[in-house]
């Protein structure tokens, strides 16, 4: 039976894109099979769906599969990443505008994403990053089933399936007052939790699926030596499916001949060399959603790596607490905070590299640094840098 890459599905928001069967999103993992079974029931009733899961777990691909499975599959699925659009542009992107609505507007005006999704599916990724003002407008559009473009007084009726996704603990954002409670209950009628790769029991199937896509004819048993295979199967995969695919792509690019060896794997998959090093089990995303994190963490709450060089400069500075801004860090959901710090450390505080690892844009990462008061390494001062390298 031919394997299918779970990360390489429909690429364009087109009604003519190849259908993505829900059954091809997992192997024999019981949790994922139950997730997909529930997802079918929700989409059959055309209920608003909220997909929750860590970065890289395949939230957009599940959304695409649900659209392709739904009765709206012959219309468009329109995707919007709420975290990557500048705050001053998101209103026009979502709701559109008329000719001459503002300086710099297209002379012909522009249809918004909500209108473009009419009779199809609107997928709002990273809904937790949506600015407060646009949350209000979105709530009104969902409640009234119509939108009014900027510069117009005439509302446009819309009929769509809404699917949202976020890696954040959105319930804690509601409690903190940064996400509207009424909007949350509007979008979270049907909640789907995607498990992280480390909790899935079909990792061999996932690896084989991605491997066959990158190197047709290759198999995990026949073309990956035992040492490399063990590393791949037992890696913690903090970047989830996105990191897994990147690792396979890298190995296929640098391999010599028809065999992938341990030395062909990227450093973050090899034990002790990066984000993929196996660690003690972390709290699952399901558990994270059950309780909001405390408002602040002391320096003692920061993750302590076995070796000093594996820890971000910001975290090391917090131990000695010479910097007041570091000693009291607002806490995100544990998995999100840990992943941000690990990505920054592994990339040596290269914002572009860290944002790619986390699957978010640079602007979103900078916003999270400000939100959790994590100072950039360049702001810590020469004395601390010298002390860290002494």
Cβ atoms within 10 Å of 83's Cβ, excluding its own: 23
Q: Which long-range contacts (CB under 8 A, 24 or more apart) does 16-22 make?
A: 17/68, 19/68, 19/69, 19/73, 20/61, 20/64, 20/65, 20/68, 21/65, 21/68, 21/69, 22/65, 22/66, 22/69
| 158, 118 Cβ separation under 8 angstroms | yes
In degrees and rounded to multiples of 5, residue 386 shows phi and psi of -65, -40
pLDDT tens digit sequence for 304-328: 333 333 333 333 333 343 334 433 4
Cα separation, 255 vs 238, whole angstroms: 24
Mean pLDDT of the region 81-90: 84
pLDDT tens digit sequence for 336-369: 777 888 888 787 788 878 877 787 877 788 888 8
Domains of the chain and any CATH numbers: 22-193 (3.40.50.300), 201-264 (1.10.8.60), 293-389 (no CATH)
- Provide the percentage of residues in the chain whose pLDDT is more than 90: 48
Cα separation, 228 vs 219, whole angstroms: 13
- Provide the percentage of residues in the chain whose pLDDT is more than 70: 74
pTM value surpassing 0.75: no
């Amino acid at each position: 039976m031919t394997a299918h890459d779970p990360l390489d599905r429909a690429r364009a928001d087109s009604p003519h894109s190849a259908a993505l069967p829900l059954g091809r999103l997992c192997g024999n993992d019981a949790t994922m099979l139950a997730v997909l079974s529930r997802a079918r029931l929700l989409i059959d009733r055309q209920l608003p769906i909220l997909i929750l899961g860590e970065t890289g777990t395949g939230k957009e691909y599940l959304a695409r599969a649900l659209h392709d499975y739904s009765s709206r599959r012959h219309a468009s699925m329109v995707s919007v990443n709420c975290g990557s659009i500048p705050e001053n542009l998101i209103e026009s992107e979502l709701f559109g505008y008329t000719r001459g609505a503002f300086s710099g507007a297209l002379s012909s005006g522009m249809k918004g994403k909500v209108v473009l999704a009419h009779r199809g599916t609107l997928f709002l990724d990273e809904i937790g990053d949506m600015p407060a003002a646009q949350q209000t407008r979105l709530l009104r559009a969902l409640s009234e089933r119509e939108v009014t473009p900027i510069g117009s007084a005439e509302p446009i009726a819309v009929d769509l399936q809404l699917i949202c996704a976020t890696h954040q603990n959105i319930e804690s954002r509601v409690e903190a007052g940064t996400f509207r409670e009424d909007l949350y209950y509007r979008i979270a009628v049907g909640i789907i939790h995607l498990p992280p790769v480390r909790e899935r029991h079909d990792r061999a199937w996932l690896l084989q699926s991605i491997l066959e896509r990158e190197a047709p004819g290759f198999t995990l048993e026949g073309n990956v030596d035992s040492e490399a295979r063990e590393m791949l199967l037992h890696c913690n995969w903090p970047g989830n499916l996105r990191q897994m695919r990147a690792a396979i792509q890298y190995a296929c690019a640098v391999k010599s001949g028809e065999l992938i060896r341990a030395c062909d794997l990227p450093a973050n998959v090899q034990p002790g060399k990066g984000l993929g090093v196996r660690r003690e089990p972390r709290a699952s995303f399901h558990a994270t959603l059950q309780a909001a994190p405390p408002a602040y963490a002391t320096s003692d709450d920061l993750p302590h790596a076995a070796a000093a060089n594996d820890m971000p400069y910001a975290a090391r500075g917090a131990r000695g607490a010479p910097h007041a801004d570091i000693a009291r860090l607002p806490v995100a959901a544990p998995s999100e905070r840990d992943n941000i710090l690990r990505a920054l450390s592994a990339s040596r505080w290269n914002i572009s590299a860290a944002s790619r690892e986390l699957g978010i844009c640079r602007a979103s990462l900078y916003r999270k640094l400000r939100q959790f008061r994590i100072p950039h390494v360049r702001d810590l001062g020469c004395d601390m840098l010298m002390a860290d390298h002494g």
